[in-house]
Amino acid sequence: MAASFRPDIQGLRALAVGGVVAYHFGLSALPGGFAGVDMFFVISGWLITTHLMGEITETGRLDLWRFYARRARRLLPAALFVILATLGLGYFILAPQEQALYSRGAMFASAYAINLWLLRWSFDYFAADALSNPFIHFWSLSVEEQFYLVWPALLLFAAWLRPGRRMAVVVIGVAGLASFAACLWLTSLSPAWAFYFSPLRAWEFAAGGLATLAPAALWQQRPWLRSAEGWLGLVLIAVAYLSLSEDLPFPGWYALLPVAGTVLVLLSGAGEENDAAETSPARWQALAPASVLSLAPLQWVGTLSYSLYLWHWPVIVYAGMLAPDLSILQRFGCGALALALAFLTYHLIENPARRGGWLTVGKWALAPALALTSVGVAAAYANAHLATRNIDPAQRGIEQAAEQPSIARAVDKNCLLDFHTVKPKPCTFGPADAAQTIVLFGDSHADHWSTPLVEAAKRNDTKVVTYLKSSCRASRLSTFNTVLKRDYTECDAWREQAITDIIRRKPRLVVISEFSIGNLTRDMPAAGRKAETARWQAGLRSTLQAFSQAGVETAVIRDTPIGDSFADSCVARALWWREAPSRCDTPRAQAANDGAAAQERAVVKSVPDTRYVDLTDRFCGPTECHVFIGGKLAFRDRHHLATAFAETLEGPLEKALF
């Protein structure tokens, strides 16, 4: 073990990976565990800057071949092994369409560029569909590798301007501040870029780098101050783990909690291995955070942290596909399996590769690294090609059914407005001189009814005008937008303009459908659910009364059930496994929200000139709600109707409305 080894840093690694694993394994007590990745970034900035600045100070130059060879030995072998194993297991677990998609992700993961691939598809790390991507966790390793490519050049540039620590502080500080400012700006404007793009995460590495250059004499000569500094850092990390959540705009300002906490802990242990005996009485050494971070269990987990990070995500992703609704005991079993795989990977691959000489130092040092990367890319490409060949007509039909847009979106995707647009965009379907007009009003759950409604209207000399906005209910209810990470003020403004426009049109009927409040609140505590439901009831009643008082009749279509799994992926997997699609069904008590529907029906009944349309029995039997009905995929995800199945509801909807 190197003389400069710091047990407190190994303990910090354990805390970081522990938070990430706890978050991904669904431990609700640590909703901010994902901030462990930010801790890793700071630790990397500290360690790499310490190493590079030491070499620049001693020799005036950097041996980049040696540096990159060390990085390759440290990261590539274990990562490639996990990528290949995940691809292999995916053949038996993922549907061919998923294999083809995620094999492309594996290609970019092998080249340490998956963060850029995720940006290309605007993949939300916190979205529900991220749970099926077994390679998404490689984004942070890609950011780190891109940091390793740029950071030595930045430090050499500082040394070229003026040798010494002061210029390095200036250059790193300027780069860090610019990165942080851009990160703050884009966290609200474009969250995916702020989250995945390495230049916007550079400030976290810079924080660790700057900390290594800070004059540490003040606290090194005051052990009580060092101890207080370290404990404050641990408190900040704990606050981040306990108070952050996926609903907050992240990284942005909130990332300062884990970043500042990690910096303080690192500073509290700086130089301790050299001066502890002279300046730190036994009582202060015992009270220092390093005494806790040096505990054997944390040291063991910290040693395995890299391999554990690699393995934990594919383990929980595949386990969730094989056994939805994992119990607590099953999740602990997954954790034990991930630890066992990490232990084997560390001792059989990671550690031998790091200590072995097969990735040699010298001008050919990167040749084996490039070979390993090429193997990963080639294997992923071949797997994607094989998966595409395995998509049979039934699988292709599922894929096409999920991708087919509603009638409204097929004509113009902007008929369903995006989050930012406020001005209503009415879209008209049917003859302009039709005898009657019906308005369809609501969010994407109103949009999926446009398919049967437009066809039914054609046979009744009626045109349909749509007022649709994504994630925006017709009910007068201010909500929080989980993508924008803030109150959805655009929705409130759009809704009021839309109601005014609709009343001005004097349609024969306004048809409303929206994402059920029961779906939104079903995971809330009872008290919060009751209060939110009452607020929603008041908002729905207000909207219905606005139309009723204007002499406009209204029909409210009960919301569709919400399944436990994404119907398209689940049914495709079931077909691949030679199982019945019914394995993807969800119990009616859980999916249909009959209680919320009864409350909705009561509100509708209390307002004159309104009616309630309930087609739930088309999706659900007495005990189960189905995702595959009459040989058709009923839903394109968890709760939006697949268009081909929506067409089959034309008759029942016509009977209810006309």
DSSP H or E run through 22: helix 7-24
Percent helix / strand / coil, the chain, rounded to 5? 65, 5, 25
Average pLDDT over residues 557-563: 93
On the question of pLDDT at 207 being above 80, the answer is: yes
Task: Please give the pLDDT value at position 210.
Answer: 93
Q: Is the backbone peptide bond immediately before 251 cis, with ω within 30 degrees of 0? A: yes
Least confidently predicted of 91-105, 201-215, 260-274? 260-274
Nearest to 600 by CA among 406, 439, 445, 416: 445
Average pLDDT over residues 219-240: 84
Please compute the mean of the pLDDT values over residues 197-208 and round it to a whole number: 96
Q: Taking 90 as the threshold, does the pLDDT of residue 533 lie above it?
A: no
Instruction: Give per-residue pLDDT as tens, 363-395.
Output: 566 777 788 899 999 999 999 999 999 999 999
| Percentage of residues of the chain with pLDDT beyond 90 | 67
Euclidean distance between CA atoms 208 and 215, whole angstroms: 14
Percent of the chain at pLDDT > 70 equals 92
Q: Which of 353, 386, 419 is the last residue of a domain?
A: 386
Q: 263 — phi, psi (to 5°)?
A: -60, -45
Q: Decide: 117 and 105 in contact? Cβ < 8 Å.
A: yes
Mean pLDDT, range 257-278, rounded to an integer: 77
- Say whether pLDDT at 559 is over 80: yes
- Going by pLDDT thresholds of 50, 70 and 90, the confidence category of residue 217 is low
Least confident residue range of 348-362, 400-414, 576-590 = 348-362
Question: Average pLDDT, stretch 543-547?
Answer: 96
233's tokens: 């850092």
Residue type (1 letter), 213: L
Q: Are residues 438 and 331 in the same domain?
A: no
Poorest-pLDDT segment among 138-147, 180-189, 287-296, 354-363: 354-363
Range of the domain at 514: 393-655
Whether residue 1 has pLDDT greater than 50: no
Report the pLDDT averaged over residues 346-356.
85
DSSP, residue by residue, 562-627: --SS-HHHHHHHHHHTT--GGGG-EEHHHHT-HHHHHHHHHHHHTSTTEEEE--GGGTB-SSEE-S
Find the angle CA(498)-CA(502)-CA(505) to the nearest 5 degrees: 145
C-alpha distances in angstroms, 59 versus 55, 168, 213, 214, 215? 6, 16, 18, 21, 22
**Per-residue confidence at 276, pLDDT binned at 50, 70, 90?**
very low
How many Å apart are CA 235 and CA 229, to the nearest integer?
10
Q: Do 370 and 450 fall within a single domain?
A: no
Tell me: pLDDT of 470 over 70: yes
Whether residues 324 and 179 fall in one domain: yes
CB 658 within 8 A of CB 621: no
Query: Which residue, of 386, 415, 449, is where some domain finishes?
Result: 386
CA 492 to chain centre: 26
Report pLDDT for 363. Answer: 58
How confident is residue 650, by pLDDT bands cut at 50, 70 and 90? Answer: very high
Q: Are residues 439 and 335 in the same domain?
A: no
Does one domain contain both 360 and 400? no
pLDDT beyond 60 at 2: no
Using the 3D structure, point to which of 355, 386, 417 is the last residue of a domain: 386
Query: What is the rounded end-to-end Cα distance, in angstroms, of the chain?
Result: 80
- Residues 397, 382, single domain; the answer is no
- Same domain? For 439 and 360 the reply is no
Instruction: Reply yes or no on whether the pLDDT at 507 is more than 80.
Output: yes
pLDDT of residue 277: 44
Domain count, the chain: 2
**What is the C-alpha separation between 174 and 183, in angstroms, rounded?**
14
Query: How much is the pLDDT for 358?
Result: 54
pLDDT surpassing 60 at residue 274: no
Q: Is the pLDDT of residue 429 over 50?
A: yes
Return the bridge partners of 487, or none: 480
The better pLDDT of the pair 61, 102 is held by: 102
Say yes or no: 97 and 185 in one domain.
Answer: yes
* Spatial distance between the Cα atoms of 639 and 598, rounded to a whole number of angstroms: 19
User: Is residue 74 domain-shared with residue 217, that is, in the same domain?
Assistant: yes
Q: What is the pLDDT of residue 5?
A: 77
Contact 464, 457 (CB under 8 A): yes
Answer for the pair 613, 657: CB distance below 8 angstroms, yes or no. Answer: yes
Predicted confidence at residue 472, as pLDDT, reads: 95
Are 363 and 234 contained in the same domain?
A: yes
**Does 183 have pLDDT greater than 60?**
yes
Nearest to 443 by CA among 589, 347, 557, 334: 557
* pLDDT on residue 3: 45
**Residue 2, burial from CB neighbour count under 10 angstroms (0-12, 13-18, 19+):** exposed
Task: For residue 585, give the CATH number of its domain.
Answer: 3.40.50.1110
Tokens 């598809």 correspond to what residue?
121
* Averaged confidence pLDDT in the chain: 89
For the cut 70, the answer to whether the pLDDT of residue 114 exceeds it is: yes
pLDDT value, residue 345? 96
| Residue 12 binned pLDDT confidence (cut-offs 50, 70, 90) | very high
Question: Can you give the three-state secondary structure of 142-208, one letter per residue?
Answer: HHHHHHHHHHHHHHHHHHHHCCCHHHHHHHHHHHHHHHHHHHHHHHHHCHHHHHHCHHHCHHHHHHH
623 or 531, greater pLDDT = 623
According to the model, what pLDDT value does residue 16 have? 97
More confident site: 646 or 215: 646
Could you tell me if 344 and 441 lie in one domain?
no
473 in the same domain as 533: yes
